[in-house]
Amino acid sequence: MIAVANRTVAALFFVIASAFIYMTFVPPAPLQSSAFWLPGMLALMFGIATFIDGQRRPNTWWNIEIPTVFCIVLVVLAAVCWFDPEGTQQTARLYFQP
């Protein structure tokens, strides 16, 4: 059961990573900022680490709790980026000015 939860969270990280990369180009107003590649790359790396850790140490709950919380945070961030593209672009310009 724990191994299934671990693989599920790892798969969710891969889905979130592809969603962030997709949002950079395609949503109602494309974000057009390389700053949004960072959450996607973090999700990809964390998904790989979660999958490997689940293979190395199966049947331990503690190695699935932190990835689950981080996955929820990334889902909330993705929802904010998707449903408020103008506010997200303004925030990106504010923090990531050239």
For the chain, the domains span 2-95
The answer to whether the CB of 32 falls within 8 A of the CB of 88 is no
Secondary structure E strands in 1-98: none
**Residue 77: Cβ within 10 Å count:** 16
**Longest distance between any two alpha carbons in the chain, whole Å:** 47
Question: Does 25 have pLDDT greater than 80?
Answer: no
The answer to whether the CB of 5 falls within 8 A of the CB of 64 is yes
Confidence (pLDDT) at 67? 82
Confidence (pLDDT) at 64? 76
**Residue 15: Cβ within 10 Å count:** 13
Can you say whether the dihedral through the CA atoms of 59, 67, 46, 72 is positive or negative? positive
Single pTM value for the model: 0.66
Mean local confidence (pLDDT), 26-53:
74
